[in-house]
Amino acid sequence: MIASSKVTDQAQERWDLIVERFRTACILHKKSESRDSRRIIKDELPVLIKAWIQILPASLRNDAKADLRDMFEREQALVDQSCKMQQVFKETLVKKIIPELEAKIAAKYRALYVNQYERKREAIDSEAAARSWINPSFSGDSGRKRIEIGNIAGMIDALQDGEAEELANTLVDLDDIVGTMNEQGMGPLLSDS
Amino acid sequence: MTIKTRTTPVKAKKSTPASKGIVHVGLDLGTNITCIQAAPEGSKKISATEVTPSVVGYTTEGILPGIIPGEAKVLFGKMAQKYKLHLNLIQPLKEGVIDDMDATRDFLKHIKETAKIDENSEVRAVIGMPANADQQSRENTRLAVTGIFDKVILIPEPFLAALGSREESNLLKDDYIDPVCNSIFVDIGAGSTDVCLIQGYYPSAEDQVSFSFAGDAVNQQIQDGIIAKYPDCQISIAKCREIKEKHSFVKSAQATIEYPVMVGGKVRKLEVADAVGTACDALLERIFEGVKALIVKADPDSIPDLLQNIIITGGGSMISGLDAALATMLTEEGFEGCAVRSIGQSYQTHVASGAIKAASQAQDRQWQNLLG
């Protein structure tokens, strides 16, 4: 942005808000939430930009347009790169990490539970004692691929990939990646090809 | 949602010697009814099919000797229902997913015993899950079967119902209508009703409509209707379910149903036809809306054949006249040439049959180990 020494705190705050809202619009667009993204671009940003430009000294208004252009390009590149990173993380998670976790950690957790269950069964003669797990509600759908009815192995693969991807989505959040890249001042890491 | 655990005794687990062979299990763990099928790996012959009410009864404290057969501490299925007065009855599942982990494990151990599966075998189970089951529900299912089965694959029930209803040996016959080539499945369970468009592919999310009005909601509406009419009758949900199972109907097919109910220690005959009819009609209305929504989504060229292959399954398929009433409603709506059929009693084994078929064709790498 225009050197901060040249603008007031109020102008800086308005600029930060413009950057934050534009970034959110880019993230929403990447998440295919186009309606919300468009609403920010069409309804929110023009008002914010107008309010920001109004409090800038007249001599800086031409610089402001260039700043906006640079910021739009920078933020779009940041979100594009973050999206690519998310895909890379997700693919690694889906293909390697989650199946390994399932095989090792989840299995150990279940073994631990079963041991406890058996011990409890042997030790206590009667009397109910209640304990509970919290069961948070997730929404899931693993039937996204069109698999022919006879292709049972293909259907199982699609379901298991879908389940791993669902878990990966909860682990690798695009908002978090963009935020982290931005906080760390990271530039593009991956080529566009 | 919370999952309950409790402590009651069962026999200590025996140490297991080396595996003798692989047994495939198809399991439809339902809210009201559970079906297990078993078959040795590589065999097309089902070695066991057991259908058991999904209920576990734990003896209450201070019960006199000789009341419960064999002084058992835990009874299952029909035996638990028979001795319900002396037991704390638990339904391991609610709305198709595990609600009580320990009761589920006790129940699963029991049904594995009833299927006479060799204890030394490696047991690989394909288990049906509700179409809308979330990550947590799936993990709870894996946890519940750990130590009971060795490896699992979880598959949504509509997929298994589709597989289970298909008679592969008849596929080449001219007059055989393949139920999964171009059809709409209506699966009425206890907690939810799934309406599913199947056109040669495993249904995706877009091909399904699921709503939480099903057997349990019908029971509740019957109870509400009867209590509104007879405020002093204190009729239980279990009794309403019994009435539904014996007398359910749609579209005013029955003018009167007099049902004996204990009120204040005396038997009183209640007129319950209007309550039953209203509740079942409410379910029919929702199914009609769901089916309509999926017909509209189907390829227009496929619709004439699709309309002739609407199949109702699940416990709700036992409602008298449901298929004919749905066909009439669709025809009145302008969908000509509708043929709707209820699967009837055999619905209880369809998901498990599909699961066994899936187990036999699953590849080694697809089985998930439950213990490391």
* Contact state of A120 with B153 under an 8 Å Cβ cutoff: no
Q: What is the pLDDT of residue B276?
A: 94
The residue-averaged pLDDT of B276-287 equals: 95
A110 shares contact with chain B (CB less than 8 Å) = yes
pLDDT > 70 fraction of chain A, expressed in percent and rounded: 76
DSSP-derived letter for residue A134 is E
C-beta separation of B100 from B92 below 8 A: yes
Q: What is the pLDDT of residue B176?
A: 82
* Contact state of A159 with B156 under an 8 Å Cβ cutoff: yes
Joined together, the tokens standing for residue A118 give 């058996």
Strand order of the sheet with strand B183-188?
A: B208-211, B193-198, B183-188, B310-313, B340-342
- Of the candidates A102, A104, A148, which has its C-beta nearest B201's C-beta? A148
pLDDT > 90 fraction of chain B, expressed in percent and rounded: 51
Statement: residue A136 has pLDDT above 50? no
- Of the candidates A138, A146, A149, which has its C-beta nearest B135's C-beta? A138
Q: What is the pLDDT of residue A3?
A: 52
Residue B166's SS3 state is coil
Query: Where do the structural domains in chain A lie, given as residue ranges?
Result: 9-62, 90-171
Q: What is the pLDDT of residue B9?
A: 44
pLDDT tens digits, residue range B95-139? Answer: 888 999 999 999 999 999 999 998 889 999 999 988 778 888 898
- Name chain A contacts of B58, Cβ cutoff 8 Å: 126, 128
Pick the more confident residue, B124 or A176. B124
Statement: residue A137 has pLDDT above 50? no
**Dihedral pair phi/psi, residue B214, rounded to 5°:** -150, -150
- Name chain B contacts of A166, Cβ cutoff 8 Å: 135
Q: In A34-92, where does DSSP find H-type helix?
A: 34-39, 45-54, 61-92
Statement: residue B49 has pLDDT above 70? yes
3-state DSSP helix/strand/coil percent for chain B, to nearest 5? 40, 25, 35
| pLDDT tier, B14 (very low <50, low <70, confident <90, very high otherwise) | very low
C-alpha neighbours within 13 Å on the C-beta side of residue B106: 29
The residue-averaged pLDDT of B60-79 equals: 85
Q: What is the pLDDT of residue B2?
A: 58
Q: How far is the C-alpha of B143 from the C-alpha of B5, rounded, in Å?
A: 13
- Name chain B contacts of A108, Cβ cutoff 8 Å: 372
Pick the more confident residue, B12 or B50. B50
| pLDDT tier, A102 (very low <50, low <70, confident <90, very high otherwise) | confident
Strands B193-198 and B208-211: what pairing?
antiparallel
Nearest CA to B132 among B233, B209, B73, B33? B209
- Of the candidates A121, A124, A146, which has its C-beta nearest B201's C-beta? A146
Q: What is the pLDDT of residue A161?
A: 82
Residue B62's SS3 state is coil
Indicate the Cα dihedral angle B199, B202, B206, B211, nearest 10°. 100
In chain B, which among 184-203 make CB contacts under 8 A with chain A? 198, 200-203
Statement: residue B145 has pLDDT above 70? yes
Question: How close is the nearest chain B Cα to the Cα of A140, in Å?
Answer: 5
Question: How close is the nearest chain A Cα to the Cα of B39, in Å?
Answer: 18
C-beta separation of B211 from B280 below 8 A: no
**Dihedral pair phi/psi, residue A60, rounded to 5°:** -100, 0
Statement: residue B251 has pLDDT above 50? yes
Q: How far is the C-alpha of B276 from the C-alpha of B55, rounded, in Å?
A: 24
Report the mean per-residue pLDDT for chain B. Answer: 87
* Contact state of B3 with A133 under an 8 Å Cβ cutoff: yes
Q: How far is the C-alpha of A42 from the C-alpha of A156, rounded, in Å?
A: 44
Q: What is the pLDDT of residue B3?
A: 65
Identity of the amino acid at A43: D
Pick the more confident residue, B261 or B243. B243
In chain B, which among 242-271 make CB contacts under 8 A with chain A? none
User: Kindly report the CA angle at B272 between B266 and B275, in degrees rounded to 5?
Assistant: 135
Joined together, the tokens standing for residue B181 give 């080539």
pLDDT tens digits, residue range B301-331? Answer: 999 999 999 999 988 999 999 999 999 999 9
Pick the more confident residue, B254 or B349. B349
- Of the candidates A133, A159, A170, which has its C-beta nearest B155's C-beta? A159
A171 shares contact with chain B (CB less than 8 Å) = no
